Amino acid sequence: MSILNVEQPAVGGERIAPKLHTRVPSHATRVSLLSADGLCKSYNADKPIFSNICLDVKEGETVALIGSNGAGKSTLLKCLIGVLPNNGGEISIFGSGFSKAPSAKQAKQIRSDIGFVFQKHSLVARATALTNVVHGLLGRPGSWRGWHHALAQNTWREAALDALDSVNLAHKANERVDQLSGGQAQRVAIARALVRKPKLFIADEPAASLDPKSGHEVMQRFVDLAKKNNITLMFTSHDMQHALQYADRVIALKSGSVFLDQNSIDLTPADLKAVFDG
């Protein structure tokens, strides 16, 4: 269980001071980018996954979503961005509201402002890093050319190279993704998300398949890029050290509700342990 990864002080109730925190968040003054009010979801009528979820993510904020396996983290992410319909409540994203599900037009607009990164990065293994990053621009006008970077418009190739440079992989642009390490492949996935110039990064366990060192490198780079480009980041993780070190705020799901929603600098090991107890 990854909660053991937290550097535990001798006494459970002491404050953790995550080493890499250099800022004290002051979200009260920031604009809301994504909020949910009374959100409910069930796949089957008899068993709700969660109900009455209320949360508010501010522009530029980095939020970790934690909870046990099956707590509903991935489901919540999908509902928040309208990929899955919900069963009640209101969502507001990028200043536009919907209940149940976004309209087709809204859904398209929402998708175009989001960069996605997943545990299984869903890159095209036999294509080069550059082609994969160009794929991030599919859906934009002129998309058919994006299937291979050689056909892509110069502006797309340049944007993709810039994004690869941002994750320090410009020198790997022409290498096939299946010849890269797991950490490098995940950085390509981040570049593919970044090239879209999103307002929001949605990342479901972005570092879960990586060894501890690569996992920290990927998360550090991801958060740095998000902060530098003022992109809001919401990520799920089972690694409590990642949640504390890289997120401004931690939201925990437990038993179908928000169990905890706090600035990470205010969290104790006991707070986190309670998320997974019982």
Ligand X SMILES: Nc1ncnc2c1ncn2[C@@H]1O[C@H](COP(=O)(O)OP(=O)(O)OP(=O)(O)O)[C@@H](O)[C@H]1O
Residues that bind ligand X (CB under 6 A): 43, 49, 67, 69-75
Q: Which of 216, 221, 217 is nearest to 244 (CA)?
A: 216
Q: How far is the CB of 205 from Mg ion (least distance, A)?
A: 6
Q: What's the CA gap between 197 and 157, in Å, rounded?
A: 14
Least separation in angstroms between CB 143 and ligand X: 28
Is 204 or 217 the residue whose CB approaches Mg ion more closely? Answer: 204
Name which of 115 and 256 has its Cβ closer to ligand X. 256
Task: Tell me whether residue 9 or residue 70 sits nearer to ligand X (CB atom).
Answer: 70
Rounded-to-integer distance, Cα 202 and Cα 115, Å? 6
Half-sphere exposure of 38 (CA within 13 A, CB side): 7
State the binding partner of 49 from Mg ion, ligand X, none, CB within 5 to 8 A by kind.
ligand X
- Is the CB of residue 248 less than 8 Å from the CB of residue 63? yes
- What is the rounded distance in angstroms from the CA atom of residue 3 to the CA atom of residue 238? 8
Instruction: Restricting to residues 64-123, name those near Mg ion by CB under 5 A.
Output: 73-74
Q: Count CB-CB contacts under 10 A for residue 136.
A: 26
- Nearest distance in Å: CB 62, ligand X: 19
- Of 116 and 156, which has the nearer Cβ to ligand X? 116
Binds 172: which of ligand X, Mg ion, none (CB < 5-8 Å by kind): none
* 131 Cβ neighbours under 8 A, 6+ residues apart: 124, 147, 148, 149
Q: Which is nearer to Mg ion, 73 or 249 (CB)?
A: 73
With binding defined as CB under 5 A, does residue 209 bind Mg ion?
no
- For Mg ion, how many residues bind (rule: CB under 5 A)? 2
Instruction: Tell me which residues touch Mg ion (CB under 5 A).
Output: 73-74
